[in-house]
Amino acid sequence: MKTIFLTIVISLISLIGFSQEKSAKTIKYVTTFPNGEEAITIVDNSASTNLKLTSAQDFYKYEILAPENHELIHSSSNKGKVCEIDKTQLEEGTYTLKVYTDDFVITSDITIDNSSTGAEAKKDKA
């Protein structure tokens, strides 16, 4: 009887330990046009190594700049309204994101937090 009871208790403790894993946290940045419509949306899921960038209009390029001196950190060309940005290539911190469409340059601040993505392991291997 004691053996069965101990087995059940140990099994329950194990299940509770596994169920308390960190859950993924999602942060959504929305930048709007002056009329209130969404211009760009950036979704950062802490379980992913990528940011998802979506624009209301097709954009041909984005740039990520250091906020203190506006030095170019990363840039890429694009076709369409959606792209993914590999956040493991960026140090943790706050950046300025510029998205270039044919009609506008849309600017937004983003914060990179690689603490829950396993990005540190990828950086160490590089």
Nearest to 63 by CA among 105, 112, 35, 102: 105
pLDDT digits 0-9 by tens, 18-74: 544 556 788 888 988 888 899 999 999 888 889 999 999 999 999 999 988 989 999
pLDDT digits 0-9 by tens, 97-107: 999 999 989 99
Q: Are 47 and 30 in contact (CB under 8 A)?
A: no
Distance CA 41, CA 9 (A): 47
Predicted TM-score (pTM) of the model is 0.70
By CB atoms closer than 10 A (0-12, 13-18, 19+), residue 74 is middle
Domain locations along the chain:
24-114
The yes or no reply on domain 24-114 and CATH 2.40.50.140 is no
